[in-house]
Amino acid sequence: MKLQLPPGAFRAYLFDCDGTIVDSMPLHYIAWKQALGEWGCTLDEDLFYSWGGKPPVEIIAALNKMRDLKMSVEAVAERKESLYYALLPELKPVPEVLEHIDAQQGSIPFAVVSGSSRESIVKSLTTVGLLDRFPILVGSEDYARSKPAPDAFLTAAARLNIAPKDCLVFEDTDMGIQGATAAGMASVRVPQPNERRNGIGTVTPA
């Protein structure tokens, strides 16, 4: 399977991290199930994927409200991240995205735009040997409103000094695509693990 990009002469590529650069979502789900299970909370896999791009603290707060629980947001978030870090030796890059990173490396600037913390981004990219490809890292600490708001993408464009209309976003979630569109950017949707296994690929122009 190959990703087909929308037409345009783009001056910068903005990449989500989890599920886009790195095939981390199955590992994150394992970590979430264990961390939440310790508090008697469940997380359906479909709901987990639909919330892709949402910062961990927002996921926990939403589950507290949905399940009428009082989980410690910070404690569960820290526990989940520690469980994910323990799984990092299993992490691999997404080949279809790596192909485009390799093709444009040195020609146009790249940035990572993620709902995860900077620490999580750095650990994931270091594990797969790609950290040095991305001079700009935009994590959950760097913007006020998370995806599908455009804040994260606009922050990355400003740091790169590239107009939003000249940026192409690589994203695996609907929230991410919506955020890119709200930022005035074209985007390409990276199929999620089950879709990649079935050879499904889609292009979403903004």
Q: Can you spell out the DSSP letters for 148-169?
A: TSSHHHHHHHHHHT--GGGEEE
Q: Distance between CA 50 and CA 15 in Å, rounded?
A: 18
Report pLDDT for 205.
46
Residues 16, 18, 23, 151: which is the catalytic one? 16
Q: Distance between CA 68 and CA 141 in Å, rounded?
A: 27
Mean pLDDT across the chain, nearest whole number?
92
Q: Which residues of the chain does CATH 3.40.50.1000 include?
A: 12-23+91-197
pLDDT in tens, 149-196: 999 999 999 999 999 999 999 999 999 999 999 999 999 999 887 676
What are the phi and psi torsion angles at 187 (to 5°)? -150, 160
| Domain 12-23+91-197 CATH (choose: 3.40.50.1000, 3.90.76.10, 3.50.50.60, 3.40.50.150) | 3.40.50.1000
Task: Classify domain 25-88 at the CATH topology level.
Answer: DNA polymerase; domain 1 (1.10.150)
Determine the average pLDDT of the residues in 98-118: 95
pTM flag (> 0.75): yes
Tokens of 79: 């526990």
Of 111, 92, 109, the C-alpha closest to 155 is 111
203 has a pLDDT exceeding 60: no
Q: Which residues of the chain does CATH 1.10.150.240 include?
A: 25-88
Q: Distance between CA 85 and CA 83 in Å, rounded?
A: 5
Active site residue 16: yes
